[in-house]
Amino acid sequence: MASILAPDRLGPTVCVGEILVEIVATTVGDGFKEAQPLVGPYPSGAPAIFISQCGRLGGSSAMVGAVGDDDFGRVNTDRLKRDGVDVSTIAIDSDYPTGSAFVRYRKDGSRDFVYNIATSAAARFGWSDNVRRLIERTGHLHVMGSALSVPSAREVIDQAVDIVKARGGSLSVDPNIRKELKLDAATERRFATLVAAADLLLPSGEELERAAGVEGEANAIRRLFEIGVKEIVLKRGADGATYFDKDGNRIDAPAFIVEEVDPTGAGDCFGGAYLTCRRLGMSPEESLTYASAAGARNVTVRGPMEGAGTRQELDAFISSTERRS
């Protein structure tokens, strides 16, 4: 089956958006109203987690974003560099600190956050000569819905989509937007345009219906193919994932059985692994296996991208871990 995604040799996978550190409460409870044990900083931000997994799997990859001139920034750039990601388009802001997210889980699995993104370096970058030179040699652009609420990321993504597509590159979109979240009209339109232009869509749960604008899984899948999407992989957490293509093919990938320590980042690792395997020439089925392993492995380790695996680590995980049936 010919891949609908541009091959790795066309140029790197590029992800644009927020780069953060995450600081995690080690106990479960209600938020941050009293002093408590915390652990971190961990490198984070959905686009950064995604690109970390791409790099670790040996895909050519680069990140566009910004960090402050501080240790929180260095935690991120050092990690991505180690993962093999090109960090030369991560700007270093001398005036603003690196973005951060404090997170504490509640008993019911929901989370309380204290964010500093909009008023941090994470939101202060944009189109530059340096970024343009990268985009002109980019093979694939991956867009995280969460980045669309960051104006600087929007500016880069808007220009990058056309340039990458014009040179034969491909586009993937992870909606990464909760169903309840209301976007302003302009962002909603931009989101719809990106979805329609996506070669690969990577929704999770209800995001599928939200992206399609219709109710029901089958209806949503049909609508998305009608408007131009070429391949869809639906993420279902511990219930696994499903691949759909325009020709009516469907592959169900059962989840690996693991003990979940920290669910953050599963979807981003899953997506980064799936995309990278496809761009490296693997079949949907084989790519799904690596993606499922990447998502499952990541939830066994505390920290948003601490469990992202190399090819070797994922092979070891796959051969030693049972799957649901």
Q: Does 200 bind ligand ATP (CB under 6 A)?
A: no
Rounded Cα distance between 13 and 81, Å, is 15
Pick the piece of the chain touching ligand ATP (CB under 6 A) from 66-74, 117-125, 146-154, 260-268. 260-268
Quick one: which of 137, 163, 237, 313 contacts ligand ATP (CB under 6 A)? 237
Pick the piece of the chain touching ligand ATP (CB under 6 A) from 30-38, 184-192, 261-269, 272-280. 261-269
Q: Does 256 bind ligand ATP (CB under 6 A)?
A: yes
Number of residues that bind ligand ATP (CB under 6 A): 22
Pick the piece of the chain touching ligand ATP (CB under 6 A) from 101-109, 145-153, 243-251, 292-300. 292-300
Rounded Cα distance between 111 and 29, Å, is 9
291, 270 contact by CB (below 8 A): yes
CB of 176 to ligand ATP, least distance (A): 6
Pick the piece of the chain touching ligand ATP (CB under 6 A) from 99-107, 209-217, 237-245, 274-282. 237-245
Q: Does 24 bind ligand ATP (CB under 6 A)?
A: no
- The torsion of the CA quartet 308, 309, 310, 316, rounded to 10 degrees, works out to 180
Q: Which is nearer to ligand ATP, 123 or 273 (CB)?
A: 273
Q: Does 101 bind ligand ATP (CB under 6 A)?
A: no
For 275, phi then psi, to 5°, come to -60, -45
Cα distances (Å, whole numbers) of residue 323 to 234, 253, 271, 289: 18, 9, 19, 10
Euclidean distance between the first and final Cα of the chain, in Å?
26
Q: Does 266 bind ligand ATP (CB under 6 A)?
A: yes
CB of 267 to ligand ATP, least distance (A): 2
CB of 35 to ligand ATP, least distance (A): 28
Q: Does 260 bind ligand ATP (CB under 6 A)?
A: yes
Q: Does 268 bind ligand ATP (CB under 6 A)?
A: yes
DSSP 215: S
Q: Which is nearer to ligand ATP, 18 or 268 (CB)?
A: 268
Quick one: which of 81, 263, 316, 318 contacts ligand ATP (CB under 6 A)? 263
Facing residues of 25 across strands? 38
DSSP 320: H
Rounded Cα distance between 205 and 150, Å, is 23
Q: Does 241 bind ligand ATP (CB under 6 A)?
A: yes
- Residue 298 tokens, joined: 């990541």
Q: Does 255 bind ligand ATP (CB under 6 A)?
A: yes
- List Cβ<8 Å contacts ≥24 apart for 238-241: 238/324, 239/324, 240/292, 240/324, 241/270, 241/288, 241/291, 241/292, 241/295
- Contacts with ligand ATP, 152-191, as mask; x by CB under 6 A: ----------------------------------------
Q: Does 251 bind ligand ATP (CB under 6 A)?
A: no
- List Cβ<8 Å contacts ≥24 apart for 29-36: 29/104, 29/106, 29/107, 30/104, 30/106, 30/112, 31/104, 31/112, 32/102, 32/104, 32/112, 32/114, 36/104
The residues of the shown chain that bind ligand ATP, judged by CB under 6 A, are 204, 235-238, 240-241, 255-256, 258, 260, 263-268, 270, 292, 295-296, 299
